[in-house]
Chains A and B, each alone.
Chain A
Amino acid sequence: MKKTGAEIFVESLRLEGVKTVFGLPGGVVLKIFDVLCQQKDIELVLTRHEQGAAHMAEGYAKATGKPGVVLVTSGPGMTNIVTGLADAYMDSVPLVAFTGQVSTDLIGNDAFQEADNVGISRPCTKHNVLVKDVNELAQTIKEAFYIAMSGRPGPVLVDIPKDVSIAKAEFKYPEKVNLRGYNPTIGGNKHQIKQAAEEIMKAKKPIIYVGGGAVFSDAADEVRELAEITQIPVTMTLMGLGSFPGTHPLSLGMLGMHGGYWTNMAMHHSDLLIAVGARFDDRVTGKLSEFCPEARVIHIDIDPTSIKKTFHAHIPIVGDVKAVLRQMNVMLRSMDGNPAEMKALRSPWLKQVGEWKKSHPLTYKQGDKITKPQFVIEKLFDLTKHEAIVATDVGQHQMFAAQYFKGNRPRTWLTSGGLGTMGFGFPAAIGAQKAFPEKLVICITSEGSFQMNLQELVVAAEHKLPVKIVLLNNGCHGMVRQWQDLFYEGRYSASLLGNMPDFVKLADAYGILGLRARKPAEVESVLKQGLKHKGPVLMDILTDPYENCYPMIPAGGAQHQMMLEDPPELKLAKKGGAHKKKVDEGEGVLPA
């Protein structure tokens, strides 16, 4: 029997195992939504903005490892998901976005709500297709899911014109894809893996540098095995956090612009860098010409374009991180080193790294007047330990969370790394909570980022998704303000937010519990109360507007030349200058 395009769409999604679709209807996708509401296998989460749908799908995908699915209409529906697509493309998140399109006979006529969906999304998707014939719909959907999930994952957009969703065709879902131009390399080159293993055995100051690739290929166990049998310390990129336990003795935490002093020093002095599913982003390397000057480089990545793109690699290995590490670990075990010998070989290096850590740990001073953001994150970590999935937004709070929330498991750290999308965190938390209704999902955000997608509060309320929003409210775009203090002589151009909504009342308006902590002494009780609450909750925590995030590698600086505290002139300004006056009088950036 023939089916309509809309029926083929829904049936194909069902066969792909899709349970949840995030989206918003519109004129040209009415037929699809009409079929969706007449079945029970796939649930539609109606978001209040298409951008929210895209980030929810990202959160869902990052937390589960399954593709996130978005369904929106043509024109503005599609353009509103562009940020989500670009974010997913940068961070290799498997998304399949279905967009409506005007009927094929109207395409190109500037029809109502028409946009060149495929043209607009081309540079920010892994692949995209306009389906012009209903007979090709099932095959295209099959390929879209396959491309999104295989190789280096990424977003795929399928554009479905209105008449294609209405037209009928015989439905047979293809069992396999046949893409002659697409064939990701999985197993690495044996010879190169062996060469890498040999280098690892003899290196004196090696370091493992893990990125998001290890999370996506589910290689946490393999990374841990590699580190433990070779006694090599592990640092993670912002995207790689969780791929190695943050509390493990060999963990060095995050590296890069706001990484630990000991981490960046270890990178700088290493003689062997083992890059695992990481791409040498500029926020990691700082000044490239002075990055890891003494290190031989082993680079494992499934995406050949990531290798030698910005930094050289002596031993490039193209392949899936998990598959490559498995082979490498077997080789390493068979080589004639015993654990005691290994420990002895590495111990001077580990001792040195330990000394760096001891001499320059992460620090902040919590007084009794105003809450430090670091204090909140530390408390939150103490209260939840490793049970939580954490989604963050972008800015200072994100860096503090990366430094102080030492997650132990992959897929529990959801953040926008590459694109740095403010407004990502809250919808991402909703997506993760939708996937895991029973788990504790925390959104660490700030007043700046949160206001970019706060309309989705109603989704949390409607679907009874108990997301815990910890809003570090410092009344300003903290990271922008920090750069202005450090590099623009304290001229706060557009970084102070001035008028601020009352977030507790805002939560109330959406039918959500709102709590506030004005003083450091109130933080713990608010966090406890919020975490205990059964439903969604927004905790508005007023924090120091002038706290800066350190260590910091200034943009373009070398990785070992970190700023560890406010420079003297800034300290002086804070003591007697405009800063102090503002803080003392409670004016300016502090919420009333």
Chain B
Amino acid sequence: MEHIISVLVENKFGVLARVAGLFSARGYNIESLSVAPTLDPTTSMITIVTIGDDRIIEQIMKQLNKVVEVLKVVDLTETHFLDRETALIKVHTKPEHRDEAIRIADIFRAKIVDSSPSTYTIEITGDVDKVEALINLLRPLGIKELIRTGRIAISRETSRTDSPRREPALLKT
């Protein structure tokens, strides 16, 4: 099953290599990865999308917690969360396709952020399904270049009653 794991780390050089190395050394998969400083400039948030059964995810959580520079690990999939991804899509636009491209972008509330006589560059932000749906619709027009940020995610502020499955003991506080 796919899991989105937020890893709060010290904002120091080498930390990303340590986290990424942990995945490669133990044969875990990284589907996507995003890193940036948080509000507190001494820390960074790494968002990792990974796939594994419960046993593997438990090991990943524990192994991440063991890293000295890791401050907190949360498996967002165990809670209610929002995830977003941004993609920049450069599509070929023959004269007869330029209107079509604009219409498709409009449907998805995507923006055209760059334009040349033969291309549009479209910016889209949304969950994975939305981004993929847009890519699929643009594909017949001819995609020249595509770049995606990887996913970021944040927990929702709700007071729903379902409790997370994992023991809180796994989380460093």
- Chain A interface (Cβ < 8 Å from any Cβ of B): 118-119, 122-123, 126-127, 130, 147, 179-183, 189, 303-305, 308-309, 318
Contacts and interface: CB of A to CB of B under 8 A. Distances in A.
B71 interface: yes
A94 to B, nearest CB: 15
Interface in B64-86: 65-71
A249 B63 CA distance: 39
20 contacts: A119-B17, A122-B14, A122-B17, A122-B18, A122-B21, A123-B25, A126-B68, A180-B71, A181-B10, A181-B68, A183-B172, A303-B66, A304-B62, A304-B65, A305-B59, A305-B63, A305-B66, A308-B55, A308-B58, A318-B169
A119 B21 CA distance: 10
Contacts of A122: 14, 17-18, 21
Nearest to B66: A305
Given A119-B17, A181-B71, A308-B55, 12 more contacts: A122-B14, A122-B17, A123-B21, A180-B71, A181-B67, A181-B68, A181-B172, A304-B62, A304-B170, A305-B59, A305-B62, A308-B59
What 5 A-B pairs are tightest by C-beta distance, nearest first? Answer: A305-B62, A181-B71, A182-B68, A127-B68, A304-B62
A183 B71 CA distance: 10
Contacts, number: 39
Interface size of B as a range: 20 to 34
Q: Which of A127, A130, A180 has the most B CB atoms < 10 Å from its CB?
A: A180
A172 B30 CA distance: 43
Contacts of B63: 305
Nearest to B71: A181
Interface in B19-73: 21, 25, 55, 58-59, 62-63, 65-71
A488 B74 CA distance: 49
A318 B55 CA distance: 17
A122 B10 CA distance: 17
B14 A130 contact: yes
A149 to B, nearest CB: 14
A181 B14 contact: no
A122 B62 CA distance: 18
Contacts of B170: 304
A126 B14 CA distance: 14
Nearest to A182: B68
A309 B59 contact: yes
Contacts of A183: 172
A88 B55 CA distance: 27
Contacts of A309: 59
Contacts of B55: 308
Given A304-B65, A305-B59, A181 B70 contact: yes
Nearest to A305: B62
